[in-house]
Amino acid sequence: MSDTRAPHEAGTAATPAPSAPTPGAPSPKITLVTGANRGLGKEAALHLAAAGQDLLLTYRSHADEIEEVLAAVRGLGRTAVAFRLDTTEFGTFPAFVADVRAALGEHWGRETFDHLLNNAGSAALAPVAETTAEQLDSMYEVHFKGPYLLTQALLPLLADGGRVLNVSTGLTRFTQSDAAPYASMKGAVEVFTRYLAKELGPRGIAVNAIAPGATGTDFGGGYLRDSAQVREGLASVTAMGHVGDPVDIGAAVASLLADGTRWITGQRIEASGGMLL
Ligand SMILES: NC(=O)c1ccc[n+]([C@@H]2O[C@H](COP(=O)([O-])OP(=O)(O)OC[C@H]3O[C@@H](n4cnc5c(N)ncnc54)[C@H](OP(=O)(O)O)[C@@H]3O)[C@@H](O)[C@H]2O)c1
């Protein structure tokens, strides 16, 4: 939101050389990941690429980071295209959809993609008594209104038999001080997930929410990665005995977007190493 560049653009510098589809070759699954330049979105993209999927990636800022992700995906032999997108700039969604449609035709000779991973998000931490209207609005926009309207805008491009995977949080099941404004909106996404699963079931589209536990990324300023005291405390209440690593979530996402899990829909799947069981 602090970035002043155009709200979205099909990355030119950030786009690898087009690879023409090979006639007769099976079409790879294509997954669109929001917030793919770092953290859990980046790890999800890398695990999906390692599993043979091609990628539509979005980044809001840090063009240098998305360049690195694109290079890594290319190194795994997959095709990926990056678009600049702020998921709270709702008015840009129609143009973003048009850019995605054009990229699908240009790079894959397709009109649809297969999976949507609504990952982009940030934290606003405050006790209920001190939460400001601005904090609440920011959490509503990035964690609920953005994924809701972006999913709606992309529905015409989502292939029948595809998937939507929304990123929720373990904090919808257990509580942590100051997490109310954030976790409340993730709770709303879980309800949205069930409604969407019902609505898209007739098209064979499965819709789920993955709920990561505490995972060491930049999230919340990086305290889950950088504070030894916080990590020790969380490890002591986690069955697996340590805070999650981004690769744990990347692997779980790839599993939930693999062929073998297509019968799972309308579910909240927690990937927390057993936090606060
Ligand atoms: N880490 C955890 O412990 C944890 C646990 C449960 C759930 N989650 C959820 O997992 C998701 C990813 O978190 P993370 O841990 O990977 O955090 P992160 O390392 O801080 O990365 C957040 C990503 O989201 C992007 N983003 C934030 N606001 C955006 C916006 N308005 N428009 C577009 N992109 C935006 C960021 O882009 P920029 O680089 O431009 O800022 C970045 O790519 C979030 O939905 C978060 O709520 C995280």
Question: Taking 90 as the threshold, does the pLDDT of residue 119 lie above it?
Answer: yes
Question: Taking 60 as the threshold, does the pLDDT of residue 76 lie above it?
Answer: yes
Confidence band for 27, pLDDT divided at 50, 70 and 90: confident
Best residue among 9, 217, 227 to mutate for probing ligand 1, ranked by most atoms within 8 Å of CB: 217
Q: What is the mean pLDDT of residues 39-48?
A: 98
Best residue among 47, 60, 224 to mutate for probing ligand 1, ranked by most atoms within 8 Å of CB: 60
Under DSSP, is residue 55 helix (H, G, I), strand (E, B) or coil? Answer: strand
CA 240 to centroid of ligand 1, rounded, Å? 24
Nearest atom, ligand 1, residue 220 CA? 20
Q: What is the mean pLDDT of residues 84-99?
A: 98
Q: What is the mean pLDDT of residues 183-198?
A: 98
Question: Taking 60 as the threshold, does the pLDDT of residue 185 lie above it?
Answer: yes
**H/E element holding 220?**
none
CA 146 to centroid of ligand 1, rounded, Å? 13
User: What pLDDT is stored for residue 24 in this prediction?
Assistant: 63
Count other C-beta atoms under 10 Å from residue 153's C-beta.
Answer: 16
User: What pLDDT is stored for residue 148 in this prediction?
Assistant: 98
Nearest atom, ligand 1, residue 170 CA? 6
CA distances from 115 to 13, 55, 105, 149, 236 (A): 25, 9, 17, 16, 35
CA 121 to centroid of ligand 1, rounded, Å? 4
Count other C-beta atoms under 10 Å from residue 32's C-beta.
Answer: 26
Of all protein residues, the one whose alpha carbon is nearest to atom 47 of ligand 1 is: 121
Which protein residues are within 6 Å of ligand 1, measured from CB?
1, 35, 37-41, 60-62, 85-88, 119-122, 142, 167, 169, 212, 214-215, 217-219, 224
Best residue among 122, 141, 230, 275 to mutate for probing ligand 1, ranked by most atoms within 8 Å of CB: 122
Going 156 to 162 to 166 to 167, the CA torsion angle's sign is negative
Question: Taking 80 as the threshold, does the pLDDT of residue 17 lie above it?
Answer: no
